[in-house]
Structure 1
Amino acid sequence: MSEKITILLAEDEEVLAEIVKESLETRNFNVIHCANGSEVLSAYQEYMPALLVLDVMMPIKDGFTVAHEIRNIDAEIPIIFLTAKSQIKDVVKGFNVGGNDYLKKPFSMEELIVRIHNLLRYNIKEEKESTGIVIGDYILDVDKQTLQYKEEGGVVLTHKEAQLLFHLASVKNQLLERTYILNELWDTDDFFTARSMDVYITKLRKKLKKDERVSIINVRGLGYKLIC
């Protein structure tokens, strides 16, 4: 069973919180929910989540105050604000107190999930850029576009292959949405680019076949998972 990434969600609207929690859990995230801002710091220290999703308008402590407190002890954890506020000054304040992204209500779950994946991928890239990304017995070097197996010499990847494998590895054992990656790497999600991506997936499968624990599976109609 794959290890789940833990997200801390602070949202006082009960119905919205339940929708967000259930949606993220179907994407293989572990979600810790706090109903108000005062619960966040202790929950953060107990569960050490990989990312925070904070509502701005919460009782006891608002999201901006909570983010400021978290930033005093953790400068790296990604923070996404959820808010009905739309004024520029509020957006600026969100970034000034340490937010990484700002999503205005109402929002789609797909948009929230894409933003979460983006921030998690960025963090993984920063952590791995000097050592490469470990995929089973392989090491992917995105900058050099190489894939090395154990102590053997590495194979050279095309730019698209390296980027596609990087995105898959960044959400290892989780779904990489087809529409998202097509728009990210090809700038369109039409039929022809989708077929092109399928070809790249086939090529990557062949280059990863030496490790039987590693596979790329197709989740019909949704996208792909790198299992490792």
Structure 2
Amino acid sequence: MVEPSRILLIDDDVELASLMEDFFTGHGYALKAAYDGPSGLHEALSGAYDLVLLDVMMPGYDGFEVLRRLREQSRMPVIMLTARTESQSRILGLEAGADDYLPKPFEPLELLARIHAVLRRMRPDEPARAIVLDISGVRLDPNARRVSHLGEDVEMTTVEYDILEALMRSAGRPVSRDELMQRLYQREATPFDRSIDVHISHLRKKFGSRASLIRTVRGSGYQFVIERTTVDH
């Protein structure tokens, strides 16, 4: 029997947590709630969960501080829950390492779809896609979900890894924002959704002086550049 995916909700809204626990249990998930930042961070670092749902405004640490501390030790997927009008909070959450965000109030089924999309990306690739990619000095191993650049390991969040894999599998040609959104989140990009752009910015920073490996192609999307390197493989 397959065990249900384990979700941790960090939110000080006790009533919301109770409703979500009932909803997710009915859809085959196991959800546990923590009601403040410190206890939520402790739970998240326990290794007992597959994904974290993280509110912004909480006692103790706010959501950004929880995420910052979590990212120091874990790449566990995180979906941030933000107030609908707090566009800056969404951007800050993505910049801090969130995999996705959903504005409050939200439809439970939409949240369920977001969770499903994130967890689906965490499953092992099928054998046909498990080939190690080694392009322009960047090595990506789908079996271990590890990335190295010029021989040095590069730490990445789940969504950063998945964007890089999509770009490297199409190296030399542009991949549109819509393609990336569909691959990562199973939804279309909207004019005001900056999530892909924020994650691309993070990826470029991780390649340091070789940030130009990921090129913006105006009107087309993003392209992983194929170039010759002096690295011996």
- TM bin, normalised by shorter chain, reads 0.5 to 0.7
1:45 is matched with which residue?
A: 45
2:35 is matched with which residue?
A: 35
1:19 Cα offset (Å): 0.9
Equivalences for residues 3-18 of structure 1 within 5 A: 3-18=3-18
Q: Residue type of the partner of 1:14? A: V
1:33 Cα offset (Å): 0.9
Q: Could you say if the C-alpha distance between residues 46 and 87 of structure 1 is closer, same or farther in structure 2, counting changes exceeding 3 Å?
A: closer
What are the superposed Cα offsets for residues 96-136 of structure 1, whole Å, 9 maximum, x if unpaired?
A: 111111111110100000000000011215597418xxxxx
1:100 and 2:109 are equivalent in the alignment = no
1:62 is matched with which residue?
A: 62
What are the superposed Cα offsets for residues 48-94 of structure 1, whole Å, 9 maximum, x if unpaired?
A: 3110000111111111110111111012x110011215233221101
1:130 is matched with which residue?
A: 130
The 1-side partners of 2:125 and 2:40 are apart by 26
Q: Residue type of the partner of 2:18? A: E
Q: Residue type of the partner of 1:89? A: Q
What are the superposed Cα offsets for residues 169-212 of structure 1, whole Å, 9 maximum, x if unpaired?
A: xxxxxxxxxxxxxxx69xxxxxxxxxxxxxxxxxxxxxxxxxxx
The 1-side partners of 2:125 and 2:41 are apart by 25
Q: Could you say if the C-alpha distance between residues 108 and 47 of structure 1 is closer, same or farther in structure 2, counting changes exceeding 3 Å?
A: same
Q: Residue type of the partner of 2:39? A: E
Name the Cα RMSD after superposition.
Answer: 2.2
Q: Residue type of the partner of 2:104? A: K
1:3 Cα offset (Å): 0.9
1:45 Cα offset (Å): 3.0
SS at match of 2:24: helix
Q: Residue type of the partner of 2:77? A: P
Largest Rg, 1 or 2: 1
Q: Residue type of the partner of 2:83? A: A
Equivalent residues of 2:84, 2:105 under 8 A apart: no
The TM-score with structure 1 as length reference comes to 0.53
Structure 2 unmatched ranges of 5 or more? 132-185, 188-233
Q: Residue type of the partner of 1:117? A: H
SS at match of 1:102: strand
Equivalent residues of 2:11, 2:54 under 8 A apart: yes
1:81 is matched with which residue?
A: 80
2:115 is matched with which residue?
A: 116
Structure 1 unmatched ranges of 5 or more? 132-183, 186-228
SS at match of 2:15: helix
The 2-side partners of 1:93 and 1:80 are apart by 13
The 1-side partners of 2:84 and 2:56 are apart by 8
What are the superposed Cα offsets for residues 12-45 of structure 1, whole Å, 9 maximum, x if unpaired?
A: 1111111111111111111121011110222123
Equivalences for residues 149-188 of structure 1 within 5 A: none
Identity %: 33
